């Protein structure tokens, strides 16, 4: 599978980082005139309702770059942009989404608000269908692989965007004979388990599932701890989470991995983070760090 499971160093590194095909055109695309003033949070007259529920923690911009960090619901998210000729090259920073957006029609002062809105609403953006160029393709009995460079054009608020990402997907018959598993290494993660193939070339479908196409989630996640480690003032528990749904019209279960991380706060009380990019905003009462992480798993599930 392209999906990489965690090692201890990789998980704790994530915690440290968190702390410190022809296309039909969209109905309307904003022209290239730069709009809006002020910092990315306000975005001038931009219509970005997805940001209405976000608390902006940091909003920095100058003539050539910008960065926004925000809490949106239970998740801490961020975006950053740098000027490149007459456009802005933007990414989703610490969100774990490996997607690049090239924006036109906005200045750096407003670019990061548009990028943040794009990151939060991906992949359900107002955009053309993806055009993808395969980089690797394998079709063997019981195994397939389809990786590609993908792009599409669309609109977000005042900005036109071109999205770029490298998509990694593979499918394989499960060793226990209970069907197939299709995984995604990028632009996001996840493994779908199905009883029978949905396509003669299974990766043709699995490739689309990586960006949410032909996928419906139909229930709540059930999570089980599968890994735990404490290092200094932080403890981390990795969770294996299953969720029912359908893919290409067939019943499936989605397997994803998440973390709960806990630490001793400045006030002497323990606080926990409930996902890869969340804030340490879940307090727990515990005698020590190990107990805090154990309690944090239950607290985050509620």
Q: What is the pLDDT of residue 159?
A: 95
Mean pLDDT calculated for residue range 276-286: 79
For residue 155, the Cα-to-chain-centroid distance in whole angstroms is 19
Mean pLDDT calculated for residue range 65-80: 85
| Integer Cα distance of 147 and 220 in angstroms | 30
Q: What is the pLDDT of residues 22-43, one digit of tens each?
A: 333 222 222 234 333 334 444 3
Three-state secondary structure of the chain: CCCCCCCHHHHHHHHHHHHCCCCCCCCCCCCCCCECCCCCCCCCCCCCHHHCCEEEEEEEECCCEEEEEEEECCEEEEEEEEEECCEEEEECHHHCCCCEEEEECECHHHHHHHHHHHHHHCCCCEECCCEEEEEEEEEECCEEEEEEEEEEEEEECCEEEEEEEEEEEEEEECCCCCCEEEEEEECCCEEEEECCCCCCCHHHHHHHHCCCCCEEECCCCEEEEEEEEEECCEEEEEEEEEEEEEECCEEEEEEEEEEEEEEECCCCCEEEECCCCECEEEEECCCCHHHHHHHHHHHHHC
94 pLDDT exceeds 70? no
265 pLDDT exceeds 90? no
17 pLDDT exceeds 60? no
Q: What is the pTM of this model?
A: 0.76
φ, ψ at 202 (rounded to 5°): -55, -35
Q: What is the pLDDT of residues 124-138, one digit of tens each?
A: 999 999 999 999 999
Q: What is the pLDDT of residue 249?
A: 94
pLDDT band of 278, cuts 50, 70, 90 = low
pLDDT band of 277, cuts 50, 70, 90 = low
- The mean-pLDDT minimum among 26-40, 184-198, 217-231, 271-285 falls in 26-40
């Amino acid at each position: 599978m392209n999906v990489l499971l965690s090692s201890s160093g990789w998980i704790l590194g994530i915690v440290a980082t968190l702390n410190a095909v022809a296309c039909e055109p969209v109905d309307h695309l904003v022209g290239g005139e730069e709009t809006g003033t002020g910092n990315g949070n306000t975005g001038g007259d931009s219509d970005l309702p997805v940001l209405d529920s976000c608390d902006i923690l940091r909003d920095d911009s100058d003539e050539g770059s910008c960065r926004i960090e925000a809490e949106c619901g239970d998740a801490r998210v961020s975006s950053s942009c740098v000027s490149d000729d007459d456009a802005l090259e933007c990414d989703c920073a610490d969100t774990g989404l490996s997607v690049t957006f090239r924006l036109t029609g906005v200045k750096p002062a407003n670019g990061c608000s548009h990028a943040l809105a794009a990151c939060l609403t991906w992949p359900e953006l107002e955009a053309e269908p993806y055009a993808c160029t395969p980089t690797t393709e394998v079709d063997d009995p019981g195994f397939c692989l389809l990786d590609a460079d993908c792009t599409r054009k669309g609109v977000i608020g005042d900005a036109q965007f071109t999205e770029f990402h490298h998509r990694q997907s593979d499918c394989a018959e499960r060793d226990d004979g209970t069907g197939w598993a299709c995984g995604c290494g990028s632009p996001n993660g996840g493994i779908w388990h199905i009883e029978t193939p949905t396509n003669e070339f299974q990766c043709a479908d699995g490739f689309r599932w990586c960006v949410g196409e032909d996928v419906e989630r139909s229930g709540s996640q059930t999570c089980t701890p599968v890994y735990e480690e404490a290092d200094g003032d932080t403890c981390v528990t990795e969770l294996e989470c299953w969720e029912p749904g359908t893919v290409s019209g067939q019943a499936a279960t989605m397997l994803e991995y998440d973390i709960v991380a806990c630490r001793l706060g400045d006030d002497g009380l323990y606080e926990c983070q409930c996902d890869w990019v969340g804030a340490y905003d879940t307090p727990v009462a515990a005698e020590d760090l190990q107990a805090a992480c154990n309690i944090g798993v239950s607290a985050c599930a509620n």
